[in-house]
Amino acid sequence: MDRQIIGLQDWFHTARGRYMLDWERRQLDEVVTDIFGFHALQLGLPHLEALRCNRMPHRWLASDCRPADETPTATRTNPGHGNTAAAGGQRDGAGQAAALACDFSALPFPANSLDLIVLPHTLELHPDPHATLREVERVLVPEGRVVICGINPVSLWGLRQRRAHLYRRLGFGELYLPAEGEFIGYWRLRDWLRLLSFEVESGRFGCYRPAVSDARWLERFQWMERAGARWWPIFGAVYFLVATKRVRGMRLLGPAWKTAKARGTAPVSVANRQPQGSRRADPAGTRS
């Protein structure tokens, strides 16, 4: 797994990698800013800084890449309580993201404890993406959010990658995308989320420029961003997805201090039902 992460980081230093990272940063900064809560977690890809615009007080940055002399920890900690160093990382007083070394399919957090989890290309690189997604569903609170970035195999970039794999079998050719991991299609990922009771709130595609390697050609095809979003929206090189964890049968209750207002008890006058012309008879039989 270490070699996979290093290979991906090297690819992100290329012109096409920086182009994709810039697009993903803009989407993440726009979405995570308006997600509120107490505990947020980013799994993988540390140089992306997906939580830099998020305002939650407790944020973690998890990685499954450890040095050879570091031993993994099995200690489970309650987010925001106690010392986070017991979980493999430290958090400063400013609330910055803490480094955390763990297995993505066995997160060191209790169930229903995190409000936001960001997966930037995490499912593509992990050997068991199903287990990772199930673990994400376990640690998220009801109505918690998960944000996923992934490379779209149904795109011009994915087509060139498949062609490069064919050429490499013949002994020549160079891959355009990272060689590590397995790319997961957008609609396939939506089916996985639906099986885990997630509701997809929004999904979008980006990076419509053709599969060229030179930075100058990428700049020349900048006009394709607007054209691609209008004419072939589902063929972007990367997709961005936000989903919410739903719990069936759950009923959200308001705060206890929001009590119903008592109805007013002001006196109401009653109209006289006696006819206006009639008067009570004098006992003496005389009228005044």
What tens digit of pLDDT does each residue of 212-254 get?
888 888 888 888 888 888 888 889 999 999 999 998 766 666 6
The closest of 42, 49, 37 to 118, measured between CA atoms, is 42
Q: How far are the Cα atoms of 123, 237, 260, 266, 269 from residue 263, in angstroms, in the given order?
A: 56, 60, 9, 9, 18
Q: What angle do CA 187, 189, 192 make, to 5 degrees?
A: 115
The closest of 221, 242, 241 to 156, measured between CA atoms, is 221
Helix 129-139 / helix 186-195 crossing angle, nearest 10 deg = 50
The stretches in the chain having pLDDT less than 70 are 1-8, 65-98, 171-173, 249-288
**Domain enclosing residue 141, as ranges:** 2-69+91-245
**What's the whole-model pTM score?**
0.73
Please tell me the predicted confidence (pLDDT) of residue 243.
Answer: 96
Residue 178 lies in a domain: yes
Q: How many residues does the chain have?
A: 288
Residue 105 lies in a domain: yes
Please tell me the total count of domains within the chain: 1
CA dist., res. 87 & res. 200, Å (int): 31
CA dist., res. 71 & res. 66, Å (int): 8
Please tell me the predicted confidence (pLDDT) of residue 81.
Answer: 39
For residue 205, the domain's CATH number is 3.40.50.150
Please tell me the predicted confidence (pLDDT) of residue 270.
Answer: 60
Residue 133 lies in a domain: yes
Residue 41 lies in a domain: yes
Residue 10 lies in a domain: yes
Please tell me the predicted confidence (pLDDT) of residue 264.
Answer: 62
Please tell me the predicted confidence (pLDDT) of residue 169.
Answer: 74
